[in-house]
Amino acid sequence: MAQINETLLHMVNTISSVIENLGYDYQILVDDPTITVFRMAIALEHAKTDCIIDVRIPDKIVAVFIISPVSAPESGRKRVSEFLTMANYGLILGGFEMDMDDGELRYKSSFIYENEVGEEYEFKQHLFNALYTMDRYFPGIMAVLFTGLEPRVAISQINNYIDPKMN
């Protein structure tokens, strides 16, 4: 158990240090021997989001969640799930998720950490990727939900390509 606590403490300290160095304020929502959960608000170019960082021991998993400020209304969930599926198909690291009960939308990126070498860099990469990806796709989510734009068209616009299926 001492090794688990040392590992958790090291990763938690690494994450705290990175967040503080980036100038973000944060709260710790859960802090016990096997899990620590951070929360911070982050303003992106297209949205103000909540960021949840979940550190799990003994699994050595860090998950970064970027929560959309907009939930999908029940009437738009099928269309936005189509959009998110198409978005996920092109993503290599992480993916979008939607809670079909309440419409919460989020982007998740996670990794397993093995040792102390490179943890800070790896955490930053996952954090920045998650923030960038939510910001990149958020306008498409909004367009699909509230303007009636077809999911395939929204994805094509985001990815700047012509989809032959749209002809």
pLDDT tens column, 31-87? 988 899 999 999 999 999 999 999 987 788 999 999 999 999 999 999 999 999 999
| Per-residue pLDDT tens digits for 57-72 | 778 899 999 999 999 9
* Res 167: pLDDT: 52
Burial class of residue 8, CB neighbours in 10 A (0-12, 13-18, 19+): buried
Band of pLDDT at residue 165, cut at 50, 70 and 90: low
Q: What percent of the chain has pLDDT over 90?
A: 73
| Nearest Cα residue to 80 out of 138, 141, 137 | 141
As a whole number of angstroms, the distance between CA 167 and CA 33 comes to 56
* Res 160: pLDDT: 84
* Res 74: pLDDT: 97
Look at 1 and 97; give whichever has higher pLDDT.
97
Query: How high does pLDDT run on average in the chain?
Result: 90
Alpha helices in the chain (DSSP H): 2-21, 77-89, 119-146, 151-159
Residue given tokens 């209304």 in the structure block: 73
* Res 140: pLDDT: 97
pTM of structure? 0.90
* Res 114: pLDDT: 73
* Res 85: pLDDT: 97
Write down the CATH number for the domain with range 2-166: 3.30.1460.70
All structural domains of the chain with their residue ranges: 2-166
